[in-house]
């Protein structure tokens, strides 16, 4: 009876989480009754806390890479109707999983990952298969259902992907089932370029982070490090504060709070700002964009670059779900608001003390973006609390090499590509007269940022910025060039930019701090090489033979992981030697954990 009631509730609140990237915004519309839905399980979790502690005492295994498995069967119709999109979605999922398996370590499940029988079986338009709540998923810590819609309705067509967690494992205390739903109507509108793949990959990572716990409706299930129990009420780690007549929800969990105080250089920060605009699923489920502009978990994304930062890795630690977070896979050199003090955090563009360059507080209508990754016009969006900034359209993004085909590129002496940045410049040929003063130029910074070389490829010349704000004049009739370049006002900040990976990892990997993490079976600096023998799972190199704890999969040409506790195996399910040191014994070619 309980399950039927819960199924009705969950069906009624059909759309749990939505993320719009057509409008560059996240629109997570979650019905109010989801709070009631979660409350139903409060006592269920409390009753299981004793069982949790007992089981964890019997599991001496060190943390291992999180094993994320997927159910792709709901994509099968696409194989006939749109095979290209089918392959595209599967590649997005595979690439995202590779990333999160490097980012997160957990105490591995000792048995199959079973959908808890107290949770509803309907979750964001999917019905949990019977085998998943009876037998479960082998070698899995998190299982994600991948599905799709093809909707051109005005609201749905703005939503590229939706996601939610479907259940929390009561034993290991973490999300163990989730669902991602794509809207292929949007995918049909765009070509499958490497840049589009990168953008959609950022959306997919954003959605998986909601499954992993970044949601106001997931915060109640976070684990309190003081009591080792679930918070059960998100108000314990969130509160509302009012700064400069603007009320924000803030997250006050320990790691996030310390990260915010250190990053902004303000010990008075009471909590990290969460989004204060939008509907119930947007409000409180993302970082506030005015203080953390291009983080992957703000409610609106950019056509330029977004990344998982130290703030989101701190949040993942504070969930209590995960044993280790590898900060080598997050970005820690952000510029927006960094070290700007309490005035920036509290007042942003409304400061009465100073004008922060992150925002446009004067009469300028055009210019370089704050990150110098493109140029465009002054804009305002609903998640910026009324603050304005420069936004760059796709054809003015400096690192996009395809923008070299713009009709005015040569007459403006521009170069687009991974090494290009936006500078205050009005270079043009003698017969043209452009009114704007922003250009994308190829640059090379000294290792110590003491100087910046600027390459003008059209005339095969190089100029050097030796001083900040220096003006370099390039009037030359013979070269058919006139105008000047103003050197950056802060060399160190200008040169500290997010590195771009070659070819965006060829749609076969993800770029992390300038290096490609390739999908299984691929290697090279841009993931362009398909390995002739095997690629090593987790290292992404072509190898002649597979190392210990892996097996050679002859079908995929990948060194796949053996099951937990297995040292040598012929396949994922056929072990020939178990790790007795950690309490495993070999029983019918499977490793069973010894209960002492």
Per residue in 236-258, pLDDT (tens digit) is 999 999 998 899 999 999 999 99
Helices (H), 235-305: 254-264
Which pLDDT score is estimated for 305? 82
**Which of 445, 412, 260, 419 minimizes the C-alpha distance to 338?**
260
More confident call, 16 vs 455 = 455
Q: 522-593 — its CATH code?
A: 2.10.220.10
The domain spans of the chain are 2-234, 396-495, 522-593
Angle formed at CA 449 by CA 354 and CA 342, multiple of 5 degrees: 25
Q: What positions carry a catalytic annotation?
A: 207
Q: What is the DSSP string of 124-189?
A: TTEE--HHHHHT-BTT-SEEEEEEEE---STTGGGEEEEEEEEEEETTTTEEEEEEEEEEHHHHTT
**Which of 559, 517, 568, 582 minimizes the C-alpha distance to 97?**
517
Fold for the domain defined by 2-234: Elastase; domain 1 (3.10.170)
584-587 vs 590-593, strand pairing mode: antiparallel
The residues pairing with 33 across neighbouring beta strands, listed in sequence order, are: none
Q: Are 354 and 346 in contact (CB under 8 A)?
A: no
Which pLDDT score is estimated for 126? 92
Q: Please give the average per-residue pLDDT across 155-172, as a whole number.
A: 82
Structure tokens at 544: 């002649």
Query: Does residue 179 carry a pLDDT above 90?
Result: yes
Query: Does residue 198 carry a pLDDT above 70?
Result: yes
Query: Does residue 485 carry a pLDDT above 80?
Result: yes
Q: Are 6 and 119 in contact (CB under 8 A)?
A: yes
pLDDT band at 1 (very low <50, low <70, confident <90, very high): very low
Backbone φ and ψ of 180, nearest 5°: -120, 130
**Which of 412, 446, 442 minimizes the C-alpha distance to 429?**
412
Q: What is the DSSP string of 548-585?
A: TTEEEETTTTEEEEPPTTEEEEEETTEEEEE-GGGTEE
Query: Does residue 15 carry a pLDDT above 60?
Result: no
Q: Please give the average per-residue pLDDT across 563-589, as a whole number.
A: 88
Q: Are 546 and 534 in contact (CB under 8 A)?
A: yes
Q: Round to whole Å and give the CA distance between 187 and 22.
A: 10
**Domain 396-495 grouped into CATH 2.30.34.10:** yes
Query: Does residue 59 carry a pLDDT above 60?
Result: no
pLDDT band at 565 (very low <50, low <70, confident <90, very high): confident
CB atoms within 10 A of CB 246: 17
Q: Is 88 annotated to bind ligand?
A: no
Q: Round to whole Å and give the CA distance between 475 and 432.
A: 13
More confident call, 214 vs 545 = 214
Q: Is 206 annotated to bind ligand?
A: yes
Which pLDDT score is estimated for 369? 96
The chain-wide mean pLDDT, for the chain, equals 87
Q: What letters, b where the CB count within 10 A reaches 16 and e where it falls short, cover 214-233?
A: bbbbbbbbbbeeeeeebbbe
Which pLDDT score is estimated for 314? 98
User: What are the angstrom distances between the C-alpha of 184 and each of 85, 181, 194, 205, 428?
Assistant: 8, 9, 17, 17, 42
Query: Does residue 27 carry a pLDDT above 80?
Result: no
User: What are the angstrom distances between the C-alpha of 474 and each of 67, 426, 429, 456, 477?
Assistant: 57, 10, 11, 10, 10
Which pLDDT score is estimated for 275? 94
Residue 84 burial class via C-beta count within 10 angstroms: exposed 0-12, middle 13-18, buried 19 and up: exposed
CA dihedral 69, 508, 299, 263 (to 10 degrees): 100
Which pLDDT score is estimated for 8? 33
pLDDT band at 155 (very low <50, low <70, confident <90, very high): low
pLDDT band at 52 (very low <50, low <70, confident <90, very high): very low
Which pLDDT score is estimated for 380? 85
Angle formed at CA 316 by CA 278 and CA 217, multiple of 5 degrees: 40
Which pLDDT score is estimated for 2? 38
Q: Round to whole Å and give the CA distance between 429 and 101.
A: 51
pLDDT band at 20 (very low <50, low <70, confident <90, very high): very low
**How many Å separate Cα 563 from the centre of its chain?**
28
Q: What is the DSSP string of 230-248?
A: B---GGGTEEEEEETTEEE
Q: What letters, b where the CB count within 10 A reaches 16 and e where it falls short, cover 558-587?
A: bbbbbbbbbbebeebeebeebbeeebbeee
Pick the most confident of 59-68, 220-229, 435-444, 571-580. Answer: 435-444
Structure tokens at 150: 């093809």
Q: Tokens 């709901």 belong to which residue? A: 74
Q: Round to whole Å and give the CA distance between 463 and 484.
A: 11
The whole model's pTM is what?
A: 0.86
Helices (H), 213-319: 254-264, 310-319
pLDDT band at 33 (very low <50, low <70, confident <90, very high): very low
Q: Is 143 annotated to bind ligand?
A: no
Three-class secondary structure of residue 266 per DSSP: coil
254: phi > 0 → left, psi -120 to 50 → alpha, else beta; which? Answer: alpha
């Amino acid at each position: 009876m309980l399950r039927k009631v819960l199924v009705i509730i969950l069906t009624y609140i059909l759309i749990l989480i939505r993320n719009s990237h057509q409008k560059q915004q996240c629109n997570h519309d979650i019905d109010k009754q989801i709070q009631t839905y979660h409350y139903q399980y409060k006592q269920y979790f409390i009753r299981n806390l004793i069982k949790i502690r007992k089981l964890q005492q019997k599991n001496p295994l060190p943390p291992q890479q999180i094993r994320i498995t997927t159910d792709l069967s709901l994509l099968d119709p696409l194989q006939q109707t749109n095979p290209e999109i089918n392959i595209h979605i599967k590649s997005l999922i595979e690439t995202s999983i590779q990333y999160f398996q490097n980012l997160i370590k957990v105490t591995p499940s000792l048995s199959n990952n079973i959908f808890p029988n107290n949770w509803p079986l309907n979750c964001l338009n999917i019905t949990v298969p019977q085998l998943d709540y009876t037998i479960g998923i082998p070698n899995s810590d998190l299982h994600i259902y991948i599905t799709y819609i093809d909707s051109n309705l005005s609201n749905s067509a703005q939503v590229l992907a939706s996601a939610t967690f479907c259940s929390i494992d009561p034993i290991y205390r973490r999300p163990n089932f989730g669902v991602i739903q794509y809207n292929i109507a949007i995918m049909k509108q765009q070509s499958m370029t490497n840049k589009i793949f990168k953008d959609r990959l950022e959306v997919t990572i954003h959605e998986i982070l909601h499954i992993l716990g970044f949601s106001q409706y997931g915060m109640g299930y976070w684990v309190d490090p003081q009591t080792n129990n679930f918070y059960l009420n998100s108000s314990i780690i969130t509160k509302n504060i009012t700064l400069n007549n603007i009320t924000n929800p803030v997250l006050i969990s320990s790691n996030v709070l310390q990260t915010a105080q250190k990053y902004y250089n303000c010990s008075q920060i009471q909590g990290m700002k969460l989004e204060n605009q939008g509907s119930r699923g947007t409000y409180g489920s993302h970082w506030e964009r005015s203080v953390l502009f291009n983080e992957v978990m703000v409610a609106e994304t950019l056509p330029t670059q977004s990344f998982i930062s130290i703030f989101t890795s701190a949040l993942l630690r504070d969930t209590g779900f995960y044993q280790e977070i590898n900060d080598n896979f997050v970005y820690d050199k952000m510029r927006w608001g960094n070290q700007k003090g309490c005035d920036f955090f509290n007042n942003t563009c409304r400061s009465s003390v100073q004008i922060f360059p992150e925002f446009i507080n004067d009469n300028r209508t055009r210019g370089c973006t704050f990150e110098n990754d493109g140029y465009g016009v002054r804009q305002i969006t609903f998640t910026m609390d009324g603050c304005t900034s420069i936004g760059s359209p796709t054809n003015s993004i400096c690192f996009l090499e395809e923008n070299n085909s713009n009709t005015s590129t040569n007459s403006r002496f521009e170069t687009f590509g991974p090494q290009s940045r936006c500078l205050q410049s009005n270079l043009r040929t003698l017969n043209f007269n452009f009114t704007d003063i922003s250009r994308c130029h190829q640059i090379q910074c000294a290792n110590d940022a003491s100087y910046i070389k600027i390459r003008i490829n059209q005339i095969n010349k190089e100029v050097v910025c030796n001083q900040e704000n220096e003006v370099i004049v390039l009037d030359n009739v013979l070269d058919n060039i006139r105008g000047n370049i103003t050197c950056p006002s802060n060399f160190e900040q200008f040169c500290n930019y997010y590195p771009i990976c070659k070819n965006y990892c060829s749609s076969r990997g993800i770029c992390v701090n300038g290096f490609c993490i390739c999908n299984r079976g691929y290697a090279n600096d841009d993931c362009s090489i398909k390995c002739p023998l095997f690629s090593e799972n987790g290292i992404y190199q072509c190898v002649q033979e597979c190392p210990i704890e892996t097996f050679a999969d002859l079908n995929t040409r990948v060194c796949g992981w053996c099951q937990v506790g297995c040292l040598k195996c012929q396949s994922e399910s056929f072990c020939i030697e178990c790790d007795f040191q950690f309490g495993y014994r070999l029983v019918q070619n499977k490793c069973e954990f010894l209960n002492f």
